[in-house]
Structure formats: structure tokens, C-alpha cells
A and B are shown apart, each in its own frame.
Chain A
Amino acid sequence: MPDNERTDIATRPRDAALGSGLGRVLLLVYGTFALSASARALVQITTHFSEAPLAYLLSAFAGLVYIAATVGLARGGPRGRMIALVSCTIELVGVLVIGTLSIVDGVAFPDATVWSDFGAGYGYVPLVLPFIGLWWIWKR
């Protein structure tokens, strides 16, 4: 097949939807994390909540933040942008704080969350993701 479908970035309007272009890639990644973090929390909370309540509640919280970011990106518009901006900021603070705490105070975090050890269990994607997300939202 001939490669004549070269894309022309210049034709994309500056105010194009938040959920298009790179935003749609972020949508896939955030959607994946929304699903994996909340599913993980659900399993942890329903099967062995008492083992590490703090870690599991944090898992659930992380899941909610990823869901909010996904919804914000998908919705677009001023409101979606605001939702995405707030949730990406919480995500950035979350991964930095929980990442640091999980290394400094391992006792409080006997079981892993997405944000433990700066997201090492997820290939450090949780650490990099909020930076890309915030940069993208800021650029719009």
C-alpha cells in the first residue's frame, strides 16, 4: 500500500479537542490505568481488606483519579479540561508522595498500590504519565 496518507499536523486547529491527537493516546493509557487500578482495589478490598486497609483505600483512590482523568480527556471542553487538569495534578502529587512514603516507611505500605515505589510495578508509567498529561492539557 502506498504511503500517501502522510498526516499534516499544521492543518490541526490549535483548539482541537483535548481527546484527539496525542490526547487519544493518553485516553487509551489513562483508560487502562483506570481499569487496572480500580479492578485491583476492588479485588483487594473485597478479599483481604483488613491486611492493609490504608494501601487498599489508596488503590481505590488512585483508581478514581484515573477514571476522572479519563473522563476529563474524553469529555473535552473547558469542563473536561478542568477535570483532567485537577486529576492529573492529584495524580502527580499522589505518585510522588506515596512513592516516597512507600520507600521511607515500608511498614505503612505492606501491600503494593499503583503508586508504590513510584509505580515501579507498572514500569514507572504512573510516574511519567502525569507529566505527559499535564503538559498536554497545558498545551491546549
Chain B
Amino acid sequence: MNRPLSSATIIAALLLAAWYLVRAALDRAPNRADLIAVAALGALVTVLALVAVAGLFDGSRPSDTATFAGYLFTTVAFAPAAAWLARMEPTRWGSLILGVGCLVLPVLVLRLQQIASVTGA
């Protein structure tokens, strides 16, 4: 796993989570900028995943490749899923959906790092 890229993703997700939770607390529905921001985060996560997949071919495979692949897929799909649900919910709860989604993403990235660090050498 690419450390700087993972850290950047985690920090970006946490900042966005704080923002969305404040928006939800203030009873604001997600606006266009909010949805664009979550899409940008999704793009960042996708780049991270692509780098991680590329890393699988340089010899240091995680010992549990199936679990790693499962987490990778879930992580990539998470931001789009949250955005999709949030678009159907143009209320404060839509902002909360984005906030929860952005809180789960760092956990997924940390788990990916954990699984990647256990290599079956």
C-alpha cells in the first residue's frame, strides 16, 4: 500500500466527514458542491486502489489476497454508494449519509493497510 496516498485519503475523508456532519447538524441537505467533493474523494480512493493493485505484481502479495481484493472492491464502491443514497435523500439525512460514508472509508483504508502488511513470504 502506498503510504502517502493512503494518509492523504484518510485525512481528506475525515475532513469531509466533519464538514458533512456539521451540515447535517445544521439541517442542510447536500448541495452540488458536497456531491462533487464526495465524487472527488471517490476518485482519490480509486487511484489508491489502482496503485494497490499494481503493487500486487511486484512480488509482495498479501498472504490473504482474497480478503484484500474484497476490501479493495468495497472501498472503491463505498463513496459512490454513499453519493447515490445521498442523492435520493435531499434532506439533512443526505448530509449524514455522506458523513457516515466518509467515516467508514478511513477504517476500510486502514484495514487494507493491515491486510497488505501481512505478506506471505
Report A's interface with B, CB cutoff 8 A.
1, 3, 5-7, 9, 12, 20-22, 24-25, 27-29, 31-32, 35-36, 39, 43, 123
Between A and B, 9 residue pairs with Cβ closer than 8 Å are A1-B31, A3-B31, A5-B90, A7-B28, A9-B91, A24-B97, A25-B96, A31-B81, A32-B78
- What residues on B are CB-neighbors of A36 within 8 Å? 74
Report B's interface with A, CB cutoff 8 A.
27-29, 31-33, 64, 66-67, 70, 74, 78, 81-82, 85, 88-94, 96-97, 100-101, 104, 107
The contact of A27 among B27, B29, B85, B90, by CB within 8 Å, is B85
- What residues on B are CB-neighbors of A43 within 8 Å? 64, 66-67, 70
| Given A24-B88, A24-B93, A28-B97, 4 more pairs with CB closer than 8 A | A22-B96, A25-B93, A25-B100, A43-B64
Q: Chain A: interface secondary structure?
A: helix
CB closest chain-A residue, reference B99: A25
Q: How far is the CA of A6 from the CA of B107 in the complex (A)?
A: 31
- What residues on A are CB-neighbors of B96 within 8 Å? 22, 25
Closest 3 pairs (CB-CB, A-B): A7-B91, A24-B89, A5-B29
- What residues on A are CB-neighbors of B94 within 8 Å? 24
Q: Is the CB of A25 within 8 A of B97?
A: yes
Decide: A21 near B93, CB < 8 A? Known: A3-B28, A7-B27, A43-B66.
yes
Q: Is the CB of B85 within 8 A of A21?
A: no
